Amino acid sequence: MAENKTNILFVCHGNICRSPMAEFIFKALIRARGLENRYYVESAAVSDEELGNSIYPPAKRCLTQHGVPFDTNRTARQITPADYKRFDLIICMDRSNLNLLKYIIPSDPEGKVRLLMSYTGHTRDVADPWYTGNFEQTFNDISTACNTMLLK
């Protein structure tokens, strides 16, 4: 965490597919633009189902196919109430994540919590590839939204 950076936490259900994809896509985008000194990025889950597990292998393959580096030692963690203070933005992948987040962080007085696709002007969710199997579509949605976030 850094005081002079924008601290961003990407959130999905288990922190093994969408949110780590968003974490590493965003890190690759800021690295490519030389903006590492402006952002600090992590990801987390709203559930405890996958705690300690690595990124899901198909998500790793998708990132690799697109040339997006990721930390092979990274494991899933659950968001905590303290994360609200630590992060400037808490970006959820879907409405279910938003609803479950309320059990951990009951209120958002500073307006930090947002849906990822809202940055693209859409109100839709980023589909969970754990269920759809379509990691490419998820990658494209996340990439588009992350690029748009950097332009705002």
Q: Are 92 and 11 in contact (CB under 8 A)?
A: yes
Which residues 6+ apart lie within 8 Å of 76 measured at CB?
Answer: 14, 15, 16, 20, 44, 45, 50, 51, 52, 53, 54
- Cβ contact 143:117 at 8 Å: no
Is 18 catalytic? The answer is yes
| Catalytic residue from among 83, 94, 125, 128 | 128
Which residue do the tokens 């780590």 mark? 20
Which run of H or of E encompasses 23?
helix 18-32
- 62 as an active site residue: the answer is no
- Residue 12 annotated to the active site: yes
- Token duo for residue 28: 């690759």
Question: Which of 17, 18, 62, 94 is labelled catalytic?
Answer: 18
Catalytic sites, residue numbers:
12, 18, 128
